[in-house]
Structure 1
């Protein structure tokens, strides 16, 4: 059997022009990686949960804007009382049914710029939540790629272990036949039997690994895996050097962008806290009407407008503690930016190294597969003429299986490392990948609720 034939049987095919060996486990009609990513984009609960969280953060903007709007309050009271009055020697007594109604409107004129800074704080939180959503989307997409490739790898490894078991069983039958005619010893038979038993265990372990990979696939992507096809190379969209990967990641990775918006929000929160030391001014108007308040007056009404100024002098020190706390939180937010940048830089180096290592491993494994294939064929021929022992044949078969398995693992690692680098530069999302899905746009919900003055229903009708 030629090397090319053996490679095709174990599920490998060389991608022309791409320079990588693919793991082919499906033929016509097989599900592509893009389809799986689209399913994960729609079905993944973590991603859908983050979308809901982003919509919740959108509501902080109308909450802050409410500080610019007037407040209206209506009060009403009713009761009964017994009264007695003396006036000019005349005594009056009896029951009263006092009733009162009032409508009060209050408009803030100045509150130490608290409302303005709360609005800017909320808008920064919204921008940060969108970047957090993008980061979650990238994490889900990378998990989906990993789950997809793990299933392909598990299928290929299971196929290799089954072929290895079949080869060992064939060697066992041949060894027993030679033992029956006195050409080998009982020791040779026992060695072959041991290899068959070990190969049976390896098949069982591969089956368990495939079941686990399928379960994770279902968890991440939301459907059971069918026939999967080898994804095309995505390395062409990567920057040409590690330095460019790092610089692009530091400027565009959503985790870094989210932490930068968190700094903006923390800065405005400091100003909000400082507003607690400033005076506030509001205008208040009231309409009131009352009935049966006394024996002499049946009804009375009135209207009033007042301008109210409040100047804080000392409030127990809480306002100062709030300012100090906000400043420390601002310092923390700035440090988190550096933490995220260091993380991105370290991951870029890690994944770039993993990609280069996987490329080298593929080349080495391909050479090892070819050499071990020829070695196995030669050892078998020498064994037939008595120049090699049974152990030599069994070891050669095991070496071939190991090199084939190493090739499978290296292929999987190369694909995952490439997509990990795509994530580092901030392009592992539905738009950049060109997935055929209805792309979720968080701006739509924000525009729907930003200037809402009333209503308890969400835009989707809940």
Structure 2
């Protein structure tokens, strides 16, 4: 399947949920991705680059087609033949017009090399489009998860501040009537300050996450649905590696750059060869050489041009393009090794993220159960209020860890798919 078709199918897949959504409907990750693709200036820039590459192919193909040139001059002056042929001085309006049509017959390979170079440019631009979309998908997924995580953090720390404020108030009351030492008041005050700092930090992170999400998607970060389960992923590392070798955008772009460099090298060598073209010319001349001078002409023929000596320009260009080919080939090898390393890392990150999320979810569940137990024990006087604050803090940290693990899991999945060229 071509890059264009993959991109079109992705756009339809991502845009379908957005088109079906109604006012008040919670935004899904798929809808956020579709909005980002429609909104991001980077996508518009990549699309414009691809259009420019296709226009360069049209320019290159034009080298095989005939050209038609019309030129002309007109002026006003006085011509004095000095009595030659018995002609006297007279005011004249010298004018001339010429039409030339030329069809290239042999260009030494210049045109073919230019076409190949332009086609490689299109392949590189389309790979750049795919790469831009992949990076955007990962950025939006991360931003989406960050908005959910920070919103929950603000809620949890807000609840902690409320509870800590009440505990600090009760500690002061008990201290005043002599039921608790001043240490309890100081510890409760410290916990309250810690909770307020956590809430301020969470709010700051929320503002940043929402601004980043809004900048990427153009949507308001409100009423986001929970993160979905992972999309379909390759079952084995070999399957992921094979797909990445065929479809990775960065690798495809470097390979296109190599083909473009090779075409440029062929074009540089072609400049050492002659060019041959068939031409037809027609011309008309008036009032030149002497007054009332008239001449019309028509010519057809073959025109050849061969630059035999260029002072080293041609050989220097050949050396330059050969060096560019070697550099592009080295970049392809380096990119292939880099992609292989990234796929191995991403494949393992997916597995690791799934295990971490499960462990973090279990930890959050256990911490929540422990919090309920401590809350009951504090209520019946078996434990002090400060133990409840510690349990609250552990529960918040565990839930935040679970939320972050969920974000890491979906980001790892999309990163692997983007390396495989599926987004």
- For structure 1, which segment, 182-191 or 303-312, has the greater mean C-alpha deviation from structure 2 after superposition? 303-312
In the TM superposition, residue 71 of structure 1 has moved relative to its aligned partner by: 1.6
2:32 corresponds to which of 30, 36, 57: 36
Give the match for residue 233 of structure 1: 229
In the TM superposition, residue 113 of structure 1 has moved relative to its aligned partner by: 1.4
Alignment of 1:38-437 (within 5 A): 38-79=34-75, 80-87=77-84, 90=86, 92-235=88-231, 237-295=232-290, 298-379=293-374, 388=383, 391-428=386-423
In the TM superposition, residue 383 of structure 1 has moved relative to its aligned partner by: 5.4
Asked if the contact 1:54–1:129 (Cα under 8 Å) also holds between the matched residues in 2, the reply is: yes
Q: Distance in 2 between matches of 1:36 and 1:76?
A: 60
Q: Distance in 2 between matches of 1:353 and 1:180?
A: 58
* Cα-to-partner distance string for 1:87-132 (whole Å, 9 max, x where unaligned): 57x5633333322111122222111011112112211211221121
Question: Aligned in 2, Cα 1:426/1:373: closer, same or farther, shift over 3 Å?
Answer: same
Question: Aligned in 2, Cα 1:370/1:86: closer, same or farther, shift over 3 Å?
Answer: closer
Q: Distance in 2 between matches of 1:378 and 1:227?
A: 32
Asked if the contact 2:227–2:406 (Cα under 8 Å) also holds between the matched residues in 1, the reply is: no
Asked if the contact 1:161–1:199 (Cα under 8 Å) also holds between the matched residues in 2, the reply is: yes
Question: Aligned in 2, Cα 1:209/1:284: closer, same or farther, shift over 3 Å?
Answer: same
In the TM superposition, residue 366 of structure 1 has moved relative to its aligned partner by: 3.0
Asked if the contact 1:83–1:96 (Cα under 8 Å) also holds between the matched residues in 2, the reply is: no
TM-score relative to the length of structure 2:
0.87
Ranges in structure 2 where 5+ consecutive residues have no aligned partner: 1-23
In the TM superposition, residue 385 of structure 1 has moved relative to its aligned partner by: 7.1
Give the match for residue 19 of structure 2: none
Give the match for residue 21 of structure 2: none
In the TM superposition, residue 246 of structure 1 has moved relative to its aligned partner by: 2.6
Asked if the contact 1:157–1:206 (Cα under 8 Å) also holds between the matched residues in 2, the reply is: yes
Q: What secondary structure sits across from 2:88 in the alignment?
A: strand
Give the match for residue 8 of structure 2: none
Give the match for residue 438 of structure 1: none
Q: Distance in 2 between matches of 1:73 and 1:161?
A: 77
Ranges in structure 1 where 5+ consecutive residues have no aligned partner: 1-27, 429-462
In the TM superposition, residue 338 of structure 1 has moved relative to its aligned partner by: 2.2
TM-score relative to the length of structure 1:
0.80
Asked if the contact 1:157–1:408 (Cα under 8 Å) also holds between the matched residues in 2, the reply is: no
Asked if the contact 1:40–1:220 (Cα under 8 Å) also holds between the matched residues in 2, the reply is: yes
Question: Aligned in 2, Cα 1:363/1:181: closer, same or farther, shift over 3 Å?
Answer: farther
Asked if the contact 1:160–1:405 (Cα under 8 Å) also holds between the matched residues in 2, the reply is: no
RMSD: 2.3
In the TM superposition, residue 347 of structure 1 has moved relative to its aligned partner by: 2.4
Question: Aligned in 2, Cα 1:175/1:364: closer, same or farther, shift over 3 Å?
Answer: farther
Asked if the contact 1:96–1:294 (Cα under 8 Å) also holds between the matched residues in 2, the reply is: no
In the TM superposition, residue 209 of structure 1 has moved relative to its aligned partner by: 0.9
**After the TM superposition, which segments of 4 or more aligned residues of structure 1 sit over 6 Å from their partners?**
384-387
Count of equivalent residues: 399
In the TM superposition, residue 271 of structure 1 has moved relative to its aligned partner by: 0.8
Question: Aligned in 2, Cα 1:85/1:397: closer, same or farther, shift over 3 Å?
Answer: same
Question: Aligned in 2, Cα 1:282/1:366: closer, same or farther, shift over 3 Å?
Answer: closer
Give the match for residue 16 of structure 2: none
Q: Distance in 2 between matches of 1:234 and 1:378?
A: 34
Give the match for residue 24 of structure 1: none
Q: What secondary structure sits across from 2:355 in the alignment?
A: helix
In the TM superposition, residue 31 of structure 1 has moved relative to its aligned partner by: 1.1
Q: Distance in 2 between matches of 1:339 and 1:127?
A: 19
In the TM superposition, residue 173 of structure 1 has moved relative to its aligned partner by: 3.2
